[in-house]
A and B are shown apart, each in its own frame.
Chain A
Amino acid sequence: MKIAVVGKGGSGKTSVSGVLARSLARGGHSVVGLDCDTNPNLGLSLGVGDLETERLLSLRDQIDEGEQEHAHTWDDILEAYGTDSPDGVRLTVVNRIDNPEPD
Chain B
Amino acid sequence: MIRIAFAGKGGAGKSSISGSFARLLARREQPVLAVDSDPLPGMAYSLGIPIDDRPTPDDVVVEGPEGGVRWVLRPGLDAAGFIDTYATPGPDNVQYLQFGNTWGHVSTLQRGQHAWSQVVKEMDPTAWNVVGDLPGGSRQAMFGWAKYADVVAIVVEPTAKSIHVARQLRNISNATWAPAHVVVVANRVDDPTDVARISDALERPVIAAVPNDPLVTDADKLAVSPLDHRPGPFVDAVEQLVAVVESNYDLDTQERTDGTS
Of A69-77, A83-91, A94-102, the one with at least 4 CB within 8 A of chain B: A94-102
B209 to chain A, nearest CB (A): 19
Which of B9-17, B58-66, B92-100, B224-232 is found at the contact surface with chain A?
B9-17
Least Cβ–Cβ distance between B202 and chain A, in angstroms:
14
Q: Which residues of A have CB within 8 Å of B135?
A: 9
Measured CA separation A41–B258 after assembly (Å): 32
* A39–B177 CB distance below 8 A: no
If A97-B138, A99-B171 touch, does A10 touch B12 (CB 8 Å cutoff)?
yes
Contact of A10 among B9, B160, B177 (CB under 8 A): B9
Interface centre among A44, A45, A97 (most CB of B within 10 A): A97
Give the dominant DSSP class at A's interface.
Answer: loop
Interface residue tally of chain A, by bracket? 20 to 34
* Chain B residue total in the interface (Cβ 8 A): 26
Give B148-174 as 1s and 0s: 1 = Cβ < 8 Å from A's Cβ atoms. 000000000000110011001001101
Binding site for B on A (CB under 8 A): 8-11, 14, 37-39, 41, 44-45, 50, 96-103
* Leading 8 A-B pairs by shortest Cβ distance: A10-B11, A9-B10, A100-B175, A9-B136, A98-B168, A103-B176, A39-B137, A41-B161
Residues of B within 8 A of A (CB): 9-12, 40, 135-139, 141-144, 160-161, 164-165, 168, 171-172, 174-178
